Structure 1
């Protein structure tokens, strides 16, 4: 079935186009609200800029669809079902995906800069090396998602669910995670410079080799956390709980440790501030 046949059937009221082959098709400017494209082949398809010309794929069923390397800048996919979809390498700058279902989706190396993913379900999704700079991830479900080397600087993460998420080697500069539940999260080698982690729960978290320059960890709980070789220069650690934390070879140059709890912490070969 080619695109013209699909559009003709759609205008006649048909909505089920499961497994259709639309590889490389130009879908920009086309309205397909509520269409069923589950399992469809859309590799390299062009869905870009549809918002600007008042068309969208809101509420579309695209579960298991292959959208790898598709052009989807500003596409409207609110409430769409993209469960297990392949979006690897897709260009989705400023895409509108509020409440979209993306659990188990492959978003590796996808460009989602400035995208709206508010309250979307990304549980167990793979977002390795994805670009999520300045994306709206408020209220999003990222439980058990893999964000290895993902770029999230400036992203909004308020109210996000982050159980078991993997942030190793991720870029999280200037991110606000105030009061977030990050217990046991893997932040190894992550870059969190300038981020706000005040009152966050980081019990047992892995922050080994993490870059935490000027991070705000006021009143955060890092008891039992792994901070081996972590860079904490000029970090605000006021009233932090570091009991039984591993700070071997950590760099705390000019860090503020007023009221910090260091009971049982391992500070072997750590670089400490002049005043503690």
Structure 2
């Protein structure tokens, strides 16, 4: 390719020299025969020069397009059949699931559907139930110590003898839930709805009360009465 290019350049240079020679010759011809012969010679040279330029351009290698690499990020798929400490079950539909005695400590159950699920004596230590649906779930004897239940629906849930120490129940719905003998020491009940909930013999020591709806329907920031009768 390089030798062809140099040959074309030499040819182009030679044509320039010939062009000057022809111009001198054309001047003489023009004096004798007038401008007609000069115009014909000039047109021929212009054509030849244009052809050389076109040939030279054709020999220049075309630009090679740069390849681009597209990377895609795979979205991890949640395995809703997984069980064990720290598993990711966020958004899973586990309604009615039999999870008695399951070990799900530290599990991510954010926005999961656990309505009517059986979680009796399950180890849910420090699990995240933010926004989860636990309505009418069976949690008797379960360990929910330090669990995050912010905004969770626990309406009608059975939480008898459940360990809820230091659990975050802020904004949760515990209406009509059964918390008999439950341990709620140091739990956060800010904005929690306890309408018609059963708190008989529940441990309510050091609880955070703030805009809590008590079993009797009264919203207050102090310890609620343990029954709806007040």
Tell me whether the two structures share a fold, i.e. TM-score over 0.5: yes
Residue 171 in structure 1 maps to residue 198 in structure 2: yes
Aligned to 1:245: none
RMSD: 2.5
Distance 1:188 1:116, change over 3 A: closer
Aligned to 2:170: 143
Q: Which runs of 5+ in 1 are unaligned?
A: 1-15, 19-35, 48-55, 191-201, 212-229, 231-276
Alignment of 1:211-226 (within 5 A): 211=229
8 Å Cα contact 2:189-2:210 kept in structure 1: no
Alignment partners' CA distance in 2, 1:145 and 1:70:
21
Of 165, 189, 210, 1:183 maps to 210
Report the Cα offset of residue 178 of structure 1. Answer: 2.8
Report the Cα offset of residue 203 of structure 1. Answer: 4.0
8 Å Cα contact 1:183-1:205 kept in structure 2: no
8 Å Cα contact 2:186-2:206 kept in structure 1: no
Instruction: Compute the TM-score of the two structures, normalised by the length of structure 1.
Output: 0.51
Alignment partners' CA distance in 2, 1:204 and 1:76:
35
SS at 1:162 equivalent: strand
Report the Cα offset of residue 205 of structure 1. Answer: 7.8
Distance 1:70 1:17, change over 3 A: farther
Aligned to 1:241: none
Of 174, 194, 210, 2:228 maps to 210
Report the Cα offset of residue 176 of structure 1. Answer: 1.9
Report the Cα offset of residue 182 of structure 1. Answer: 1.7
Could you report, residue by residue, the CA deviation over 1:61-106 in whole angstroms, capped at 9, with x for unpaired residues? 0000000000110001011100000000001100100010100000
Alignment partners' CA distance in 1, 2:223 and 2:205:
16
Residue 130 in structure 1 maps to residue 157 in structure 2: yes
Larger radius of gyration: 2
Tell me: higher relative CO, structure 1 or 2? Use CA pairs within 8 A at least 6 residues apart: 2
Report the Cα offset of residue 175 of structure 1. Answer: 1.2
Aligned to 1:109: 136
Residue 72 in structure 1 maps to residue 99 in structure 2: yes
Alignment partners' CA distance in 1, 2:206 and 2:89:
35
8 Å Cα contact 2:184-2:207 kept in structure 1: no
Give 4+ residue runs of structure 1 displaced > 2 Å after superposition: 178-181, 202-207
SS at 2:102 equivalent: coil
Of 47, 62, 82, 2:109 maps to 82
Report the Cα offset of residue 152 of structure 1. Answer: 0.5
Determine which structure has the larger strand proportion and give its number: 2
Instruction: Compute the TM-score of the two structures, normalised by the length of structure 2.
Output: 0.61
Aligned to 2:148: 121
Q: Which runs of 5+ in 2 are unaligned?
A: 1-74
Aligned to 2:179: 152
Report the Cα offset of residue 204 of structure 1. Answer: 7.2
